[in-house]
Amino acid sequence: MGETARQAGYAEFSAYVRQRGPALLRMAQSLTGNHADAEDLLQAALVKTFFAWDRIINPNARDGYVRRAMVNTQISEWRRNRLEVYPTDEIPDQRTEDTTWRTDLADAVGRAVSRLPDRQRTTVMLRYYEDMSEAEIANALGVTVGTVKSTVSRAVAKLRHDADLIIDRTTS
């Protein structure tokens, strides 16, 4: 590969990471459970992707390649860190952190988003989960950017209203 082609590949990869990095980080966070491990996982997957970048012909396959690299890397990490279990007569006392609030919050957000009308739910998912721009969403849905903006605005207002109702119920 010539120097010019190599530099073009670097620039293309850098642009891809800048554009898709936040969405890919959210995916990594869902695999690892915390931000620091998610950053490490994404970094490892991006290194693997970088070395295969010139072989990924279809630009639409890039996210899939990075996601597969993250899943494979995380599975390898789980296998490496798997603890051996040995039977014992005494169970040691262990302090554990109560993380149920995280699953409760995720459940509440998931239920609130699922109650949105189809178009609002779709635009919220594309905007905040897939980190697509308003123009990209408009193009994907075949609507104007103004329609996307107003739909997202109404959806977020409804989610805030639902959150206020939940908070009011729990504090009264």
Q: For residue 166, how far is the Cα from the chain centroid?
A: 25
Give the SS3 label for residue 124: helix
Q: Determine what percent of the chain is predicted with pLDDT higher than 70.
A: 91
Say what the pLDDT of residue 58 is: 87
86 lies in some domain: no
| 107-124: average pLDDT | 88
pTM value is 0.49
Q: How far apart are CA 6 and CA 19, in angstroms?
A: 20
107 plus 167 within the same structural domain: yes
Tell me the pLDDT tens digit for each residue of 48-101: 999 988 888 888 888 889 999 999 998 888 877 766 666 777 777 777 777 777
* CATH number of 45's domain: 1.10.1740.10
Q: How far apart are CA 160 and CA 172, in angstroms?
A: 18
Say what the pLDDT of residue 25 is: 92
Say what the pLDDT of residue 84 is: 63
67 lies in some domain: yes
Say if residue 49 is exposed, middle or buried (CB neighbours under 10 Å; 0-12, 13-18, 19+).
Answer: buried
27 lies in some domain: yes
CB 70 within 8 A of CB 41: yes
85 lies in some domain: no
The larger pLDDT score, comparing residue 118 to residue 90, is at 118
Say what the pLDDT of residue 86 is: 66
Q: What does the mean pLDDT of the chain come to?
A: 85
Say what the pLDDT of residue 149 is: 95
Given CA atoms 134, 157, 29, 110 in this order, what sign does their dihedral have? negative
Instruction: Domain of residue 126: give its range.
Output: 100-171
88 lies in some domain: no
45 lies in some domain: yes
Q: Residue 138 pLDDT > 60, yes or no?
A: yes
Q: How far apart are CA 39 and CA 41, in angstroms?
A: 5
* CATH number of 121's domain: 1.10.10.10
